């Protein structure tokens, strides 16, 4: 074998080793960045045998509490079904018969911000049924749409569909509102809407004779995210054609006087 051939053979060997090392390192990193966030066994399909429910998170970076991928995995009779959820922080999981077919369904909520920072940040929510080994997305109720407007004399009006408008007294916020130019001696400078967030909470509750249902909470803020004014509380019942709004109310948030 010529000297050139030997050198070429050696270079090929070195490159192959480098690629192999990179592959092993990448695999190790991927394994390190994966984390089991939830693991439980429940009967979901109707065969009276418990199924394995796992939620796995892929960390944004090693040691991070934020997950760039969150995957719901349900194994029944040796068959694995996966659902990719939104990115976010560690999810909350609950089980309830949401569609009233006699079997527990899976409700998952994923916060977009660490719950240690605040408990009213918006979430992404998912509901799934696995009856007869078939994955079906039950969706979740849509966030309630609200029309809103500040009024003169430090007031704000909120209206949901054809319901009676709710007027909030926001005098406790007048110092900040005057400083920021929203009001001038109680007179509104320009038309301004309030900020209506999506759900920050979506939980099950019981209605006598109607089984498990969902209650959603949305935060209503004023001119910024820390300017909390009220909670929009909606209650939902699942019927054959989807979620139906049962009740909605607006509850003012107690704030310190400013």
pLDDT of residue 13: 41
Residue-wise pLDDT for 46-100, tens only, equals 999 999 999 999 998 888 889 999 999 999 999 999 999 999 999 999 999 999 9
pLDDT reported for residue 112: 86
* Contact partners, residue 157, CB within 8 Å, separation at least 6: 148, 149, 151, 165, 166, 167, 168
Greatest Cα pair distance, the chain, in angstroms, is 95
d(CA 242, CA 24): 48
Q: What pLDDT score was predicted for residue 121?
A: 87
pLDDT band for position 207 (50/70/90)?
confident
β-sheet with 242-252: strand ranges across: 195-207, 211-221, 228-239, 242-252
- Residue 221 phi/psi, 5° resolution? -110, 160
- Count the alpha carbons within 13 Å of 218 in the hemisphere toward its beta carbon: 21
Instruction: Kindly state the helix (H) or strand (E) to which residue 196 belongs, with its residue range.
Output: strand 195-207
Mean pLDDT (whole number) for 25-45: 77
For residue 14, name the pLDDT band (cuts at 50, 70, 90). Answer: very low
Read off the tokens for 82. 């996966």
Integer angstrom CA distances of residue 140 from 41, 88, 204: 23, 18, 12
**DSSP string of 132-166, one letter each residue:** GG--EE---PPPPP-EEEEETTTEEEEE-TTSPPE
pLDDT at 148 over 70: yes
pLDDT above 70 as % of the chain: 84
Model confidence at 255, pLDDT cuts 50, 70, 90, reads: low
In 3D, which of 62, 120, 58 has the Cα closest to residue 89?
58
Task: Say what the pLDDT of residue 98 is.
Answer: 97
Q: Are 128 and 135 in contact (CB under 8 A)?
A: yes
Say how far apart CA 127 and CA 203 lie, in whole Å.
11
To the nearest whole number, what is the mean pLDDT of the chain?
Answer: 88
| Residue 191 pLDDT exceeds 50 | yes
Q: Please, are residues 214 and 235 in contact by the beta-carbon 8 Å criterion?
A: yes
B/e letters for 104-135, b = 16+ CB within 10 Å, e = fewer, are: bbbbbbbbeeeeeeeebbbbbbbbbbbbeeeb
Instruction: Give the count of beta carbons closer than 10 Å to the beta carbon of residue 253.
Output: 14
Residues 133-140, mean pLDDT to the nearest whole number = 96
Per-residue pLDDT of 209-233, as tens digits, reads 889 999 999 999 999 999 999 999 9
Quick one: pLDDT band at residue 181, thresholds 50, 70, 90? very high
Query: For residues 97 and 68, what is the distance between their CA atoms, to the nearest angstrom?
Result: 29
């Amino acid at each position: 074998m010529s000297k050139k051939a030997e050198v070429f053979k050696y270079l090929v060997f070195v490159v192959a080793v480098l690629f192999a090392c990179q592959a092993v390192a990448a695999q190790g990193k991927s394994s390190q960045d994966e984390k089991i966030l939830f693991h439980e066994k429940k009967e979901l399909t109707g065969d009276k045998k418990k199924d394995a429910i796992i939620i796995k998170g892929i960390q944004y970076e090693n040691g991070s509490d934020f997950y760039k991928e969150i995957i719901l995995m349900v194994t029944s009779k040796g068959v694995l079904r996966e659902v990719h959820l939104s990115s976010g922080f560690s999810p909350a999981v609950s089980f309830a018969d949401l569609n009233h077919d006699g079997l527990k369904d899976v409700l998952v909520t994923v916060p977009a911000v660490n719950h240690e920072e605040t408990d009213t940040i918006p979430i992404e929510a998912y509901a799934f049924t696995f009856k007869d080994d078939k994955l079906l997305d039950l969706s979740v109720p849509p966030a309630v749409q609200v029309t809103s407007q500040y009024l003169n004399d430090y007031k704000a009006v909120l209206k949901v569909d054809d319901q009676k408008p709710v007027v909030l007294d926001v005098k406790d916020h007048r110092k900040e509102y005057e400083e920021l130019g929203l009001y001038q001696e109680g007179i509104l400078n320009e038309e301004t809407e309030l900020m209506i967030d999506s759900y920050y909470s979506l939980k099950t509750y019981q209605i006598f004779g109607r089984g498990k249902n969902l209650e959603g909470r949305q935060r209503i803020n004023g001119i910024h995210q820390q300017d909390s004014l009220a909670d929009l509380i909606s209650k939902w019942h699942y019927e054959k054609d989807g979620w139906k709004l049962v009740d909605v109310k607006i509850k003012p948030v107690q704030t310190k006087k400013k």
